[in-house]
Amino acid sequence: MRETKNIWLGLEIGNSRLHWGLFRGETLDFTWDTDYLPESAIYQLAQCQTLDDLLLAIFPLHQRTREEFLLTSSPSSLPPLIVASVVPSQTALWQIYPNIRIITLDQVPLQAVYPTLGIDRALALWGAGKSWGFPMLVIDAGTALTFTGADENQCLVGGAILPGLGLQFASLSQKTGQLPFVEMQDFTSLPSRFANNTSEAIQSGVIYTLLAGIRDFIEAWWCLFPEGKVAIKGGDRTLLFNYFQTVYLNIASRLILEPNLTFCGMREIVMSEG
């Protein structure tokens, strides 16, 4: 039987889906992603009496994982659920969980933030800087693609927000009469830049422009902070990283590829409080 002491769940509510992390103290045991859960499913979770029941409910499709994680726990001891959300309507649904804590911007020790800064950006930057050092620039290749940087004094320098890869492809097909939706699963290698068919022309336009734009932000960051670090996270991180290795190897070799930066930030905050 495995130890259930100090277990807690991290939940990052993104704009596309949920990202989960199971922690034992400061150790992030593992992570998984799910779709948003319907209100009825959240209600059922909140009624669970044991950790086992809870894990059975939130790993519906992960048979192997859930068997690995069958745990003993006393009844009525649901683990703390630490939530960071950028989707207020989703946050509201989770309020019925008995042992919930919602991380807000004022709890992140980053200095000089502006009031509407996304909690995902603040936590990822805090987690990355605490783990790898400041100055740190975090690139989040998620639904939205964001840049968020902090200097050596852990002060927010600022950042930028643009549509992520998936959103760029979706909006082209949704807002035009003739453009197809380009499935990113079909991507194998870089498209030819001067393309001779519609699908490849869309890929070329979006991908080469995005890579050049990201490179430009990174170079501007290194002008400000020559020793500054750069970390990349988010659902499209691997695709982008692989392209960077093909076209801008000098940049790729300095990138920190880390999917769990937001959870790193959560852990810093939860653990620093003892």
Ligand X SMILES: CC(C)(CO)[C@@H](O)C(=O)NCCC(=O)O
Query: Residue positions in the annotated binding site for substrate?
Result: 114, 118-121, 198
Q: How many residues bind ligand ATP (CB under 6 A)?
A: 17
Q: What is the DSSP letter of 108?
A: S
Residue 13 and residue 4: Cα distance in Å, rounded? 25
Contacts with 17 (C-beta within 8 Å, 6 or more apart), sequence order: 33, 34, 35, 36
Pick 12 or 79: Cβ nearer K ion: 12
Is residue 216 flagged as an active site residue? no
Q: Does 127 bind ligand ATP (CB under 6 A)?
A: no
The phi, psi pair for 153, rounded to 5°, reads: -95, 10
Show the tokens assigned to 144: 């939205």
Catalytic residue among 120, 186, 216, 236: 120
Residue 131 and residue 126: Cα distance in Å, rounded? 8
**Residue 260 CB, nearest approach to K ion (Å):** 12
Pick 6 or 104: Cβ nearer ligand X: 104
| Residue from 56, 102, 184, 247 in contact with ligand ATP (CB under 6 A) | 184
**Residue 35 CB, nearest approach to ligand ATP (Å):** 8
Q: Does 16 bind ligand ATP (CB under 6 A)?
A: yes
Entry field: residues in the chain = 274
Q: Does 236 bind ligand ATP (CB under 6 A)?
A: yes
Residue 81 and residue 7: Cα distance in Å, rounded? 10
**CA angle 250-255-260, nearest 5°?**
165
Residue 227 and residue 109: Cα distance in Å, rounded? 22
Hey, what's the torsion of the CAs at 225, 253, 120, 186, to 10 degrees?
Answer: 140
The phi, psi pair for 84, rounded to 5°, reads: -125, 120
What does the per-residue mask of binding to ligand ATP show for 137-166, with x meaning CB under 6 A? -----xxx-------------------xxx
Binding site membership: which residues? 12-19, 114, 118-121, 140, 143, 198
Residues 81-110 that bind ligand ATP (CB under 6 A): 86
Q: Does 17 bind ligand ATP (CB under 6 A)?
A: yes
Binding site membership for K(+): which residues? 140
Pick 87 or 179: Cβ nearer K ion: 87
Pick 140 or 268: Cβ nearer K ion: 140
Where on the chain is the footprint of ligand ATP (CB under 6 A)?
14-17, 19, 86, 120, 142-144, 164-166, 184, 234-236
**Residues with a known catalytic role:** 120
